[in-house]
Amino acid sequence: MPPAHPMIELWRGPLCESTHAGHAVVCDASGAVRDAWGDPRAVIYPRSSVKMIQALPMVESGVSLPAERLALACASHQGAAVHTAAVRAWLADAGFGDDDLLCGREAPRDRDLRHALIREGEPPCQAHNQCSGKHAGFLQFQKHLGAEGAYVDPEGPVQRVVRRTFEEVTGEDSPGYGIDGCAAPNFATTVAGLARAMAAFAAAVPGADARQSAMVTLREAMMAHPVLVAGTGRPTTRLMAAATGRAAVKSGAEGVFVAILPELGLGVALKIADGAARAADAAMAALLVRLGVLESGEDAVRRTLHAPVLNRAGAKVGEIRPARGFP
């Protein structure tokens, strides 16, 4: 199988100090691979990049929610007040509370709220967890199904439907799963399968059928509320906001990043082999520029693809940049 392809480099002065290699695939509406770097057949855990797939069965089944809540269902948010307040309101409206979540407590990644909790002597709750929106969606879906038990159980009714949907949109049987940081199963697929699923979201047409309508609803919710999907200053939010309705993008842990491009009918997936988030962010920015979704001079691109390396005094001493030959 082809090795991982060099994608992103960190330069310090005149030397390349680090190189990040990975796999990336662009698929079209038919599911065919249009372009690839590295090995399209590399099997990966997509991690949080697939939250729109995990939310798809809920929306496809007829659960109707405001776009803000659908964006949260697809989110890896930073636990800012705007995120936690919205999750708590959603839980309350659905008849649930923080203790019904199974994602675990996590200190907010939002600095202001994290420090406020410390000053007040308050422990973090599960709503602060970056995956609490996804878990609120699982709870909502379980209620809709009239099911009982742990909604994260891989053999339970919620996750059985999620796995079936995941395999249908990727076009592949998953070889297995690992347990994500939020306790939910994360089903494995190839990088090509992940890109194929994103292309299905990109090519979906409203009203064609229940699945395509649900895909359109989810991708539009993400694009309409990029701050809810990640948070102010986060690469996912910056890139999606800069794309202004041309792309729904989502990062995942360990160097995974995906993009849904409705105008082009294309799906993109990438995995950085060493799991570096800085490289995944930069590689996705580079691919969005290559595909004409973003301009190289846009602030969101420059801050991600050509991010400066600063010393402690704030002086620029290096730069993150694409490797020669990518993309």
- pLDDT tens digits for 216-257? 999 999 999 999 999 999 999 999 999 999 999 999 999 999
pLDDT value of position 2: 79
Does domain 5-322 fall into CATH 3.40.710? Answer: yes
**Degrees, nearest 5: CA angle 165-171-177:** 60
pLDDT value of position 78: 96
Report how far apart, in Å, the C-alpha atoms of 291 and of each of 35, 90, 234, 266, 296 are: 11, 37, 22, 9, 11
The single residue listed with the structure tokens 């990040």 is 20
Domain ranges of the chain: 5-322
pLDDT value of position 157: 98
For the cut 80, the answer to whether the pLDDT of residue 108 exceeds it is yes
Three-state DSSP string of 235-277: HHHHHHHHHCCCCEEEEECCCEEEEEECCCCEEEEEEECCCCH
Indicate the burial class of 74 (C-beta count within 10 angstroms; 0-12, 13-18, 19 or more): buried
| Percent over 90 (pLDDT), the chain | 98
Residue 84 binned pLDDT confidence (cut-offs 50, 70, 90): very high
pLDDT value of position 187: 98
User: Cα(20)–Cα(31) distance, rounded to whole angstroms?
Assistant: 27
The half-sphere exposure of 235 on its side-chain side, counting CA atoms within 13 A, is 26
Residue 275 binned pLDDT confidence (cut-offs 50, 70, 90): very high
Report how far apart, in Å, the C-alpha atoms of 267 and of each of 3, 24, 25, 34, 219 are: 22, 11, 8, 10, 12
Question: Dihedral, CA atoms, 287, 273, 253, 184, nearest 10 degrees?
Answer: 120
**Degrees, nearest 5: CA angle 42-43-44:** 115
Q: In terms of DSSP bridges, do strands 308-310 and 316-322 run parallel, antiparallel, or are they unpaired?
A: antiparallel
Residue 94 binned pLDDT confidence (cut-offs 50, 70, 90): very high
User: Cα(81)–Cα(112) distance, rounded to whole angstroms?
Assistant: 9
Nearest to 284 by CA among 309, 297, 267: 267
pTM tops 0.85, yes or no = yes
Helices (H), the chain: 51-60, 67-73, 81-93, 111-120, 132-145, 157-170, 191-203, 210-224, 226-229, 235-243, 277-290, 299-305
- pLDDT tens digits for 277-304? 999 999 999 999 999 999 999 999 999 9
The single residue listed with the structure tokens 């409203």 is 206
pLDDT value of position 75: 98
Least confident range of 41-45, 194-198, 304-308: 304-308
For the cut 80, the answer to whether the pLDDT of residue 1 exceeds it is no
pLDDT value of position 276: 97
Bridge partners, residue 16, by sequence: 11
For the cut 80, the answer to whether the pLDDT of residue 150 exceeds it is yes
Contact call for residues 320 and 309 (beta carbons, < 8 A): yes
**Degrees, nearest 5: CA angle 205-206-209:** 85
